[in-house]
Amino acid sequence: MTVGFEVLARDGAARAGRLTTAHGVVETPAFMPVGTAATVKAMTPDGVAATGARLILGNTYHLMLRPGAERIAALGGLHRFMNWPRAILTDSGGFQVMSLAALRTISEEGVAFRSHLDGSKHLLTPEKSINIQRLLGADITMAFDECTPYPAEQGAVETSMELSMRWAKRSRAAFVERAGHGIFGIVQGGVHTDLRQRSAKWLTGIGFDGYAIGGLAIGEGQATTFAVVEATVPFLPDDRPRYLMGVGKPADLVGAVKRGIDMFDCVLPTRSGRTAQAFTRAGTLNLRNARHADDAAPLDAECRCPACNGFSRAYLHHLVKAGEILAAMLLTTHNLTYYFDLMAAMREAIMRGRVAEFEAPR
């Protein structure tokens, strides 16, 4: 088999499901912490698992440049290399290549670019991206695509989407089938719902193990994101997982789950943890603020994480002001725990048929 997916409960468009991979089962809705360079920043693998994570994201672009996919493969694959025995999804590198701007050239063959590390020349094609992800040992491989910038003229978006669809066909052909591993296609088309629907039909015609909605959360705003999701989801197979890439804030996750999305990734909880921000049930806190200096209360009295069950806001404020590494570790742990508790609460609401009552966090 490839990756398995089963929908266990529905409430409106929202689904609670189970994704089965070579490295374990992932309950959905699911959030993926971002481990771009084979590490979730400021976290140990055991610490990441303790928050509730069962699936993390690695990145083709960064790992091909350093330390190299062949080296990782020779050392036993990405799971062993980073001591993460659970599931891994790898981004194809398309988003990172897009961000290189002047350092890359796009053609039908693929993307020629210079490394941001040392200026060395590389060519990333659909076939090479898929092979790198195979060498890494990803449970879920992503098709190679071009993430269209926003804003862009509709004609340019259409040209970009069609190129991504041709690359998707090549990606699917290059993927090596093996038990517990699968490949996801990525819907593109910018903010244009007709292009999104064409893209979805194109991908389902090729046939993938799951379907991602890419090219969003890059400046278009939440209302537009939700509109694109609502227009796209009906054109995706009901029996396959749906993944909204690069999203997002807690309210974004709740709104997207209510619109039929099963999987998410975003750097926000980990990046915020390194920049003194904490997500709580009462809203977002900035631990740099002086008002926390004498506050003996925990970040969130309802939270199960170590930061909330051993340390005060005053202490965390002190760590932040002192520039201590422990501040990033504790706040990142807290934020990921908050995100996974949010996913668990959403799942329970779906199972009980009460998702309509579930309010988006502040």
Dihedral sign, CA of 79, 82, 87, 88?
negative
pLDDT given for residue 2 in this prediction:
87
With bands split at pLDDT 50, 70 and 90, how would you rate the model's confidence at 83? very high
* Per-residue pLDDT tens over the stretch 281-300: 999 999 999 999 999 999 99
User: What's the full length of the chain, in residues?
Assistant: 362
User: By C-alpha distance, which of 134, 2, 168, 136 is closest to 58?
Assistant: 136
Find the catalytic residue in 91, 139, 145, 341.
91
Which of 94-103, 207-216, 303-312 has the least mean pLDDT?
94-103
Half-sphere CA count of 340, side-chain side, radius 13 A: 24
Query: pLDDT, tens digit, for every residue of 14-58?
Result: 999 999 999 999 999 999 999 999 999 999 999 999 999 999 999
> What is the side-by-side strand order in the sheet with 14-21?
4-11, 14-21, 24-28
Q: What is the DSSP string of 114-174?
A: E-TTT--EEEE-HHHHHHHHHHHT-SEEEPP-----SS--HHHHHHHHHHHHHHHHHHHHH
DSSP strands (E only) in the chain: 4-11, 14-21, 24-28, 30-32, 55-59, 87-91, 104-106, 111-114, 121-124, 140-142, 182-187, 210-213, 242-244, 263-265, 277-280, 283-286
Percentage of the residues of the chain whose pLDDT score is greater than 90 = 93
- Is residue 1 over pLDDT 70? no
Cα(63)–Cα(97) distance, integer angstroms: 13
What average pLDDT does the chain have?
96
Question: For residue 319, which amino acid is it?
Answer: L
Q: Give per-residue pLDDT as tens, 228-260.
A: 999 999 999 999 999 999 999 999 999 999 999
294-318: per-residue pLDDT in tens?
Answer: 999 999 999 999 999 999 999 999 9
Q: Tell me the pLDDT tens digit for each residue of 133-170.
A: 999 999 999 999 998 889 999 999 999 999 999 999 99
The region of weakest confidence among 115-119, 190-194, 347-351 is 115-119
User: Which domains occur in the chain, in start order?
Assistant: 4-266 (3.20.20.105), 275-333 (no CATH)
Catalytic residue among 209, 265, 300, 341: 265
239 assigned to active site: no
pTM for the predicted model, two decimal places: 0.97
248 contacts: CB under 8 Å, gap ≥ 6: 217, 225, 256, 264, 266, 268
262 annotated active-site = no
Number of C-beta neighbours around residue 179 at 10 A: 9
